Amino acid sequence: MAASSELHKKNAVNVREMIAEKKKKKNYSNLMEKMVPAILIMIASVSILTTIGIIYTLLAESVEFFKMVPIWEFFTGTVLRPLSQNPEFGVLPLITGTVISSVIAMFVAGPIGLMSAIYLSEYASEKVRRTIKPLLEILAGIPTIVYGFFAFTFVTPIIRTIFPAVEATNILSPGLVMGVMIIPMIASLSEDAMTAVPNSMREGALALGATKLETTLRVVIPAALSGIISSFVLGISRAIGETMIVTIASGSSKNFTFDITQSMQTMTAYIVEVSGGDAPAGSTIYYSLYAVALTLFVFTLLMNLLARYISRKFREEY
């Protein structure tokens, strides 16, 4: 009887310990459940805070520049001579160089990237696709400074052999090489968009007597149009923000011209030039760095917003 009572007491103690331990675990679990959202919010806010910091820095320094140079003169001026005795700060030569180089790049990357995507999505076998797509995407892994030296030492001499009037540094060569660089982006994103089109749409078109090419052009591409256009817009954004290729191959001449055979400078190349250390802190040319950077930021932001708008407007739900 005494032994039974002793066993009962031990069991009661064990049960209490188990209940206490379970409560501790539950309290710890509840604490972690409350902490995890806070930690995730902090991690997610890093990108937002970084963006806010960048915008604040650009705006604060640009305001100092526009106190010295009228904003209207900056955005409408066609002469950029920051180091002359009578400096002029017109950003149009840089905007022209940036736009021309990006347009040249898209003339190269657009057709080649889209045709590559069509082949990979509609004509290539699974084995060929698994082989070619990684090889194509290797281009995206090449450092841009390598592309820059390739444009300057290989592409430019070839162009000058064909067209002797082309200058040693020109905007055509880096534009062509930038086009090669962004081919993987357009091809990969467009191929993903076309692959997402349901096979039932292809089979329906083929059953109605359409050829493979007609199905691709009249069914698949219209259905994947939002993804294709978004890839083009993102490719343009990538070209606008490119730095090393244009810095090496296009020279530093701040010419306001539409002649692609001449040396021109882009906004990114100007930023590299000014940030090289020749501009004393607090000078007008120093603050012009931030004004140009703000202009480039707005360009890139508008292109990304356009890509999001197009993607949402023309998105097809299957």
Q: Which helix (H) or strand (E) holds 40?
A: helix 2-68
Structure tokens belonging to residue 3: 């032994």
Q: Superfamily for 80-313?
A: MetI-like (1.10.3720.10)
Cα-based torsion angle of the residue sequence 255, 256, 259, 262 in order, rounded to the nearest 10 degrees? 10
The per-residue pLDDT for 100 is 92
Domain layout of the chain by residue ranges: 2-68, 80-313
Arithmetic mean of pLDDT, 1-20: 54
DSSP notation for 241-295: T--HHHHHHS-S-------TTS----HHHHHHHHTTTTSPTTSHHHHHHHHHHHH
Kindly indicate the confidence band of residue 79, based on its pLDDT and cuts at 50, 70 and 90: confident
Is the pLDDT at 25 greater than 70? The verdict is no
Arithmetic mean of pLDDT, 282-299: 86
Q: What percent of the chain has pLDDT over 90?
A: 10
Is the pLDDT at 318 greater than 60? The verdict is no
Q: Among 19-23, 40-44, 141-145, 166-170, name the one with the lowest average pLDDT.
A: 19-23
Q: Among 3-17, 103-117, 119-133, name the one with the lowest average pLDDT.
A: 3-17
For the stretch 109-120, pLDDT in tens is 999 999 999 998
Mean pLDDT of the chain: 82
The per-residue pLDDT for 7 is 47
Kindly indicate the confidence band of residue 108, based on its pLDDT and cuts at 50, 70 and 90: very high
CA distance linking residue 249 with residue 147, whole number of Å: 9
Q: What percent of the chain has pLDDT over 70?
A: 87
Is the pLDDT at 10 greater than 60? The verdict is no
Kindly indicate the confidence band of residue 73, based on its pLDDT and cuts at 50, 70 and 90: confident
CA distance linking residue 221 with residue 238, whole number of Å: 23
